[in-house]
A and B are shown apart, each in its own frame.
Chain A
Amino acid sequence: MIDEGLKSELQKQGVYVTTLEDLYNWGRANSVWPLTFGLACCAIEMMAASMARFDLARFGAEVFRPSPRQADLMIVAGTVTKKMAPLVVRIYNQMPEPKYVIAMGACAISGGPFKQGYNVLKGVDRYIPVDVAIPGCPPRPEALIHAIMTLQEKILAQKLTGPDRPRHLNADVASEFPVPAYGPHDLEPSKNDAVWHPPMIKR
């Protein structure tokens, strides 16, 4: 690894030194392409974040793609009903690696105000891994921008090699997740045990 002091001294002389890992992550972090995918009112805030006033383009994430095949980031913006959940998982499976998920708003995190309903999934993290969760009902566009910046930090910190390397660099880890089936009263299974465990609460 290059010494930080030397690196900065070289930069002053017009020589830029970096590592392949930094370059690779820098490129990925600054061109996150989200999927054009909104489920409820949070999607309105997502649209606002990408428009002129809040200008998501400043963070390289303005290219909303209508196809999961071309997207890196799924912003789950809104209530995930049990009827919609298998489709969300299927769209996530169709995205190529590396892929990331932002759960936007109270509904996508936990079911939100509809948590006790019979038809709303209690958090999209029951089926797919969530990288960043934004609370709020709905979160303001600034909160979404903050989530994208948090995701960028997460991408920049990823290692190319070693046991901690991300899923897309590890051939042994599956990148697709089982799609739940419609059951007589609930989805079957009602959660993916490999992804989600109910957090232990001390009472």
Chain B
Amino acid sequence: MELQGRLEGLKQQGLAVAAVSYDPVSVLADFAARRGIAFPLVSDPGSLTIRKYGLFNTTVPESNQQTYGIPFPGTFMLNERGVVTSRFFEQAYQERNTVASMLARLGSRIDVPATKISSPQIEITSFATDTTVAPGTHFSLVLDVRPGRGIHVYAPGVSGYKPIALAVEQQPWVVVKGAQYPAPEDYHFKPLNEHVKVYQQPFRIAQDVALDASTEAQAALKDVSSLTLKATLTYQACDERICFSPQSVPLTWTVAVRQLDRERARR
């Protein structure tokens, strides 16, 4: 499980990890032993806690003995007092947010290989939150952008200038989801008495993508060992005096593809 691999990093941030399912203790013991899981897997037989959290999956009929009692899967980030600071739930039940992707969206540093790109007026550090993905994996393509001294770039929604935009090329089996841009700051351009939304400080763009979890996708990806995602970052940078011509930066990320694990517990 990916969570296990992130345990140490999370611990350094003072965060513990626990996972809830309706499985009996024996199944959890077997699973934890097989996978080397060191964090608590708690057993909620009868799904009482799952119900108490309002996550009981009401669309599964009671006649379906295997799946009745499952939750809508998702993750809560809680502070030390048990208050939700953020939450990650997927509409498609086959999809899972990776921990790294969740952390990236929260602004954390992720220990993955990154590429530094020097582009006119800005410096870009680019990485994918996960180096290995499977059908259903929901991860992020991250750009940490550092504008040069005295430079600003325009935030999404700005007109009259070219706002910064990351466009991911469509490709089979890759679902391009929403992108997260931080809140911009107001820039007052005195000569024109113009107020415009910009970024002047280092900021992060987190573009969410997922690998299609359909059976067709799983079949098609069976013999695929890696995928290269392509995107273009477009922006326009200005300083106090001049605006530079709009730029277009091609970007790529390559991720390894693995199959879904279907091994069940021994009984």
Is the A/B pair a real complex?
no
Interface set of B (CB-CB < 8 Å, partner A): none
